[in-house]
Structure 1
């Protein structure tokens, strides 16, 4: 009985790709394709290619893979290029005769620019660049989109701290990843949460820590951190009448000098929790704990709830005025808002907080579905398109230019990416490169990974 093998690269493609080897012109030798984000609200933070190569392209294809693929594809009603795949195994040891070049991971590139380009290195396999489109594009668009969204949010928070806080030293801990349970799969968590760590050092996705060690060389033992935190079950288990005892237990179990703890406080009545428990019966314990209590609202309209929570905490615990003229709660109490956070709501909440006279230093954010799940290929209009083909030794440009959608017009020719005089990357034809440096660099050639960047290096490129 056939049990299935998800690691078979031949089956990691769209069905219609299996017949494309018969559709190219006679004499086809080389096909050059590129990947870009055609449009979007964010600059591209390129990330994820190295993970894909290590996980999927570093193991050679085998005759067993070919047998399995033939069985599945023919039963599926399609043709199968058995001779081509067998030739690949026999001639290249099962490693893909491809050259994949890309911008360095962590690079920030405006949309509508090439970030990756792939071409076959053996003319017998002109059909191969297109065959891996499904897997390669997916491997790039998802983590790159998450990294781009995360980087955009970092910019919003940075601006708020620069405007309203004495310093921005805590920036990399201001957006915490809450997305593990809402992601579509464990691999999505691994790639998406790791992409977030290009920009930040806070996560509750432990899968990302494993992924960082697996795919990106670790210069440090731990790339991200979290703190003890309550959930509703651990609070409501004490009952409504036991809420004070539940809160006090958190301080007893996890409080202490230099320690931070997060306590969800809206199980029943957030305002009562702030006014009468945290700011009343447990006020002295909070003040004398030696660490920081982070109060977490988890319902209601985020901007209104955060503002009112800050105002109530200010009444109970007082504030000081910082060098920028904004109110700051005592170091031992803060807020984290993790409900309803997206790139749009994040900015709205910060605007409300600052207009109320409070520094952004008072609040940290958590993002779940808005970070890892509420993105798709169309968020930044990612596409992989063939742009040049060599037939009988002659290169020619190929492209699409649909009259019904100018936004889907593709680029022509073999491409390069250069820095313009003003520093902005720009896509040009490889033939026009002249003396300029090509920002695309070889990452994978004929089965070998040529670049093995650490997460630390990638973070530095992204402006850590």
Structure 2
């Protein structure tokens, strides 16, 4: 299978930049930050994947350059934009290894927005154009960072409701509350890999096998982290039609007489399924199982449906009241909500359970498109900007400070204002803060070199990433 040609992995307009940088430019230094967004902190994750997959070792070959040359001539329809000599220089002098240095905060670290997460600079003055040429590819780290952040923020919500409503060691199950159902909902297998691994930083529940594979292949994970259970889909539960649903349910229970199994139960009437089938006809068989049946509604308003289902299940299976005063189903019965699940809905669902005296431990979640696909670069407002350059031997601070007009017609400073100078990330009284490289010499830089001149200079394991995040 043909690998990607790195020379062609940039926005087309960048191929003219070697001419457009001011004469005498010999270095471009840029940084990545999350400028704000939905959450006030961002978990940094995914850079090692991009370094290993695209940049490590011989990033491009003579054959790649030959292919790119003809391609780019067609793109611009002129021969004075793409300059193959720029790439030929890297092939001849470095055998295709990239003369750049990348520093980054440890992956898995949660950093408040508005701080530097990564820096990149060329190490050969002839390759000043290379720093921001790589922006197109490296900017894609926004995706695993955003998924990891979203998943982590959901874990905080779940943990809070467990602390308020669950008891008796139930919090040990938090790692399996949010399950990744997103493989089919992403735009590519690579997206499933990267987003799936980002979720596994925070949780262990996943039907996205690609995420576990990515963690093993690119982060040397010691094991498969995404764990799952036998579960049905509608093609199984509708095989015998409406009148045969009970028989299908019975068959499912007897196929897996022990352990946890999930069954979608809204093929026809979720309330009848809970009351008459699960709660009456199969009740005793369920309660005698050495395992848990997880009942899955998959349509309707999540809160109204869940509250109605729990009332039925409490009536049919009974419940205990934990030490915090909340109802808990017998351990043989739980519910999973996998439809209409997103960050705001999760907060509303658990609040509704709490308001109705229902412990959070009765419910687990499946999240697909909203976990892996309903995010974009602006969810956390990612940007990669030049902040320092060397021009004719002089180091200059580079920044932009745009203005914008507010609703009242006033001219104000834009949130897109960038930082100037060479930067470092330090901890002041335990809190991250971005400062100029020469400031606070007594404080260690939390940005560490991870890539230099074509080679990874340090590798982080998936276990270390998870430890940093949790």
TM-score range, shorter chain: over 0.9
The structure 1 segments of at least 4 consecutive aligned residues displaced by more than 6 Å after TM superposition are none
Any idea what SS the aligned residue of 1:169 has?
Answer: helix
What does residue 282 of structure 1 align with?
A: 282
What does residue 36 of structure 1 align with?
A: 33
State the alpha-carbon separation in 2 of the partners of residues 209 and 345 from structure 1: 26
Alignment of 1:103-118 (within 5 A): 103-118=105-120
**Structure 1 residue 384: Cα displacement:** 0.4
Alignment of 1:262-273 (within 5 A): 262-273=262-273
State the alpha-carbon separation in 2 of the partners of residues 137 and 387 from structure 1: 16
Alignment of 1:194-233 (within 5 A): 194-219=197-222, 221-233=223-235
Q: CA RMSD in A?
A: 1.1
User: C-alpha deviations, 1:226-278, integer Å up to 9, x for none?
Assistant: 0000000110012111101111111111231xx10000000000000000000
C-alpha contact 1:416 1:433 (8 A) present in aligned 2: no
Any idea what SS the aligned residue of 1:29 has?
Answer: strand
Q: Is 1:338 aligned to residue 335 of structure 2?
A: no
C-alpha contact 1:255 1:261 (8 A) present in aligned 2: no
What does residue 419 of structure 2 align with?
A: 411
State the alpha-carbon separation in 2 of the partners of residues 154 and 53 from structure 1: 28
Q: Decide which of 129, 132, 136 is 1:130's aligned counterpart.
A: 132
State the alpha-carbon separation in 1 of the partners of residues 6 and 423 from structure 2: 27
What does residue 163 of structure 1 align with?
A: 164
**Structure 1 residue 21: Cα displacement:** 0.8
Structure 1 residue ranges without an equivalent (≥5): none
What does residue 11 of structure 2 align with?
A: 14
TM-score (normalised: structure 2): 0.95
State the alpha-carbon separation in 1 of the partners of residues 420 and 310 from structure 2: 54
State the alpha-carbon separation in 1 of the partners of residues 380 and 221 from structure 2: 29
Any idea what SS the aligned residue of 1:378 has?
Answer: coil
**Structure 1 residue 392: Cα displacement:** 2.1
**Structure 1 residue 210: Cα displacement:** 1.5
C-alpha contact 2:30 2:388 (8 A) present in aligned 1: yes
User: C-alpha deviations, 1:203-224, integer Å up to 9, x for none?
Assistant: 00111122112111122x2212
C-alpha contact 2:216 2:224 (8 A) present in aligned 1: no
State the alpha-carbon separation in 2 of the partners of residues 450 and 263 from structure 1: 48
**Structure 1 residue 323: Cα displacement:** 1.3
Q: Is 1:83 aligned to residue 85 of structure 2?
A: yes
What does residue 62 of structure 2 align with?
A: 63
TM-score (normalised: structure 1): 0.97
User: C-alpha deviations, 1:6-60, integer Å up to 9, x for none?
Assistant: 6100111100011011111111111100011111122101000001111111241
C-alpha contact 1:142 1:192 (8 A) present in aligned 2: yes
What does residue 52 of structure 1 align with?
A: 50
User: C-alpha deviations, 1:315-366, integer Å up to 9, x for none?
Assistant: 0001101111111000000000010111100000000011110000000011
State the alpha-carbon separation in 2 of the partners of residues 450 and 389 from structure 1: 24
Which stretch shifts more, 44-53 or 203-212? 203-212
State the alpha-carbon separation in 2 of the partners of residues 120 and 155 from structure 1: 39
What does residue 385 of structure 1 align with?
A: 385
Any idea what SS the aligned residue of 2:293 has?
Answer: strand
**Structure 1 residue 292: Cα displacement:** 0.1
What does residue 440 of structure 1 align with?
A: 447
User: C-alpha deviations, 1:348-388, integer Å up to 9, x for none?
Assistant: 00000111100000000111011000000111111100010
Any idea what SS the aligned residue of 1:275 has?
Answer: helix
State the alpha-carbon separation in 2 of the partners of residues 353 and 6 from structure 1: 50
**Structure 1 residue 407: Cα displacement:** 1.1
